[in-house]
Amino acid sequence: MNGCKLWVIAFLAVITNGFSLLGIGQGSIGGVARSIEANHNIARNIETAKAMGLLAGNPPIKPQSAFFGPFQIDCSVVGMCEVFA
């Protein structure tokens, strides 16, 4: 192994584990990953709670579109009045 590669690997090992080995758990990579994950989970739970709060007790909003349904067909135009008679 080249001397430069050894120093790079040693530097990366110190960066990722050095804080934990020194007893400073908040600065370690694992601590940073846990805090990012916790913040993400908290934000997602807040958004879910807000969305559920908006839905609770409120009927769905009807869309303001050009849909007039349900449709009725005139049997005489289609020629199927004999079938229903």
User: How many structural domains compose the chain?
Assistant: 1
Flag whether 74 is in a domain. Answer: no
Flag whether 85 is in a domain. Answer: no
Under 8 Å between Cβ of 15 and 32: no
The reported pTM is 0.39
Flag whether 45 is in a domain. Answer: yes
Flag whether 69 is in a domain. Answer: no
Flag whether 6 is in a domain. Answer: yes
Average pLDDT score, the chain: 75
- pLDDT band at residue 10 using 50, 70 and 90 as cut-offs: confident
Distance of alpha carbon 11 from the chain centroid: 36
Return the C-alpha torsion angle 13, 14, 20, 22, nearest 10.
150
pLDDT for residue 80: 65
Flag whether 76 is in a domain. Answer: no
Flag whether 82 is in a domain. Answer: no
Note down the domain range covering 44: 1-59
